Chains A and B, each alone.
Chain A
Amino acid sequence: MSTETARRHAAGSAATRDSYYGRPVIKPPVWKPDIAIYLFSGGLAGASATLAAAARRAGNDRLARSANLTAGVAVSVSPLLLIHDLGRPARFLNMLRVVKPTSPMNLGSWLLTAEGTASGIASACELLGVLPRLRNGAERIAGGLGPLLATYTGVLVADTAVPVWHEARHELPVLFAGGAAASAGAAGMLLTRPRDAGPARRLLLAGAAVEEVASAVMERRLGELGDPYRNGPAGRFARTARTLTLAGATLGAVAGRRRTAAGIGGALTLAGALCRRFAVYEAGFQSARDPRATVEPQRRRLRERGGA
């Protein structure tokens, strides 16, 4: 055996002890960043629709108007992002050829269709200034479905073999609910005059707190599997998200009646929520590419079962 061959064999056996030449066991997603933006826009649409319905009921028509229009825009952008991500965009309607409870993406498509219809009608009436009763009815339907549109995406990504997503299945829907609340509150603050934006500010603060706590809990409970949130692109997004969200919330809390400060606080919080979704999205790719993230927990499970 030549020295070169011997070296390759030694390297080969070292590289193949825990994995097959360091190659991933599972396939990373084939999704494009559209999906990360959708995780944000879906949450913003859902929570804003609920904010619009609640503000209308409370007689705060200015906040209801801005939240209604925010929901309308966000819910219109969402399907475009999803369709653009498809390998065969012309076949997007195939999503609705079945009702399939085992597929979160299928149920999500139906949910988004219903939400888009209700929210679209509500914002069209708002813009045109017509049919207030139809608008209010559509707003209530969109407001009722909205929260599930904001949280189902947690199920969507967690129902995969990607370790950093699946093992965070109990935290992701809560994290996304917090992010959605913060986003809807932030958009409300940005687009509504301060004397009517009190509820939006409270929503921003509560949502940002839930988002940060849920992120911290998720990262701690993931342990080593949570490494993507500390390294690489996902780590950078996670750190940026935390900074932006905290800055936005602080500014939102102290802005009072100063419209510019409130607007900047809202914008920073929106940017923070978007970065947080990108952190989750990128973490999935990093986790899927790492064979140890797939293999180690499974080995541990087998050992524990063997020991029991």
Chain B
Amino acid sequence: MSDMRTEAHPGTYGDEARPRVGFFTDTTVCIGCKACEVACKEWNAVPGDGLDLTGESYDNTSALGANSWRHVAFVEQDRPLRVPAEELGVDRGDGDGFRWLMSSDVCKHCTHAACLDVCPTGAIIRTEYGTVVVQEDVCNGCGYCVPACPYGVLDRREEDGRVFKCTLCYDRLQGGLEPACAKACPTESIQFGPLDELRRRADERLAKVVDEGYLGARLYGRDPDDGVGGAGAMFLLLDEPEVYGLPPDPVVTTRDLGRMWLVASIAAGLLLTGIRAAVGGRR
């Protein structure tokens, strides 16, 4: 079956193509300050959603959506952050056996992006930086991208009718600046750069934190062979992805589109044959 997925690399841009950029979010140094959420809202003029106190740790944003393009997750766990010092034979304090995981989530800017694939108007495009952007002047608010995204990133802004998500600060990139969230992050938990460079940095950082005994450390979205062809935004997590509200093995559903059309065509053929058989020949 032919592969119908769209590609990350902006082949059609020719000379204007730029190296693919993205984010590497190192959650081991996230302090949950939400400066990324604020900077994103300010730069992109994203409206507020009102204040809703959820009681879910320090998280009152709850999820990514039309009005939240960065979302810091807070997870409280009754387990130590690292392997106990005496087991490692090193000299350091071990805390109180409780850990607080924080992670700033964002659009993954997938290599094979389901939202871009299914968008019927061509409003969602691949930019010259390999990022995925919704063109606000084209989107007609059909909402198809909303359930298509395997990460639940996109949503419709009710009072506006259109769909909004992270643009990886397309305007800032064109001006030679890094995205607002990365710029505002005080601990360099959010790192911006060319994807190749970020992947190298992520690998090095993972090796280091594993060495230091961090429990559950793993990279998420790093693998170019995963269900979305690798993400443009990858993460160093300290637990299973689902603990942070991320899907453990996301897949771009367009992968199966050729076969789906085949099934629909066969069903259509059967319907045609069935109707003709029910009617029969000339009376």
Choose the segment among B10-18, B83-91, B169-177, B271-279 that binds chain A (4+ C-beta atoms closer than 8 Å): B271-279
Q: Which of A32-67 contact B (CB under 8 A)?
A: 46-47, 50-51, 54-55, 57-60, 63
Choose the segment among B23-31, B32-40, B74-82, B190-198 that binds chain A (4+ C-beta atoms closer than 8 Å): B74-82
Residue among A155, A185, A199 making CB contact with B260, cutoff 8 Å: A155
Contact flag A174-B141 (CB < 8 Å), given A9-B76, A98-B122, A169-B256: no
Quick check: is B210 within 8 A (CB to CB) of the other chain? no
Chain A residue contacts of B282, Cβ below 8 A: 57-59
Q: Considering the chains assembled together, what is the distance between the CA atoms of A43 and B176 in angstroms?
A: 51
Q: Which of B232-283 contact A (CB under 8 A)?
A: 242-251, 253-254, 256-257, 259-261, 263-272, 274-276, 278-283
Q: Considering the chains assembled together, what is the distance between the CA atoms of A54 and B77 in angstroms?
A: 66
Q: Considering the chains assembled together, what is the distance between the CA atoms of A20 and B114 in angstroms?
A: 23
Specify the chain B residue showing the minimal Cβ separation from A171: B263
Contact flag A26-B271 (CB < 8 Å), given A9-B76, A87-B162, A103-B120: no
Chain B residue contacts of A298, Cβ below 8 A: 247-250
Give the Cβ gap from A158 to chain B, nearest Cβ, in Å.
Answer: 6
Quick check: is B128 within 8 A (CB to CB) of the other chain? no
Specify the chain B residue showing the minimal Cβ separation from A60: B283
Residue among A26, A30, A60, A155 making CB contact with B279, cutoff 8 Å: A60
Chain A residue contacts of B163, Cβ below 8 A: 87
Chain B residue contacts of A206, Cβ below 8 A: 274, 278
Quick check: is A121 within 8 A (CB to CB) of the other chain? no
Q: Is the CB of A88 within 8 A of B117?
A: no
Q: Is the CB of A50 within 8 A of B140?
A: no
Give the Cβ gap from B247 to chain A, nearest Cβ, in Å.
Answer: 5
Q: Which of A144-203 contact B (CB under 8 A)?
A: 144, 146-148, 150-152, 154-155, 158-162, 166, 169-170, 173-174, 176-177, 180-181, 184-185, 199-200, 202-203
Quick check: is A258 within 8 A (CB to CB) of the other chain? no
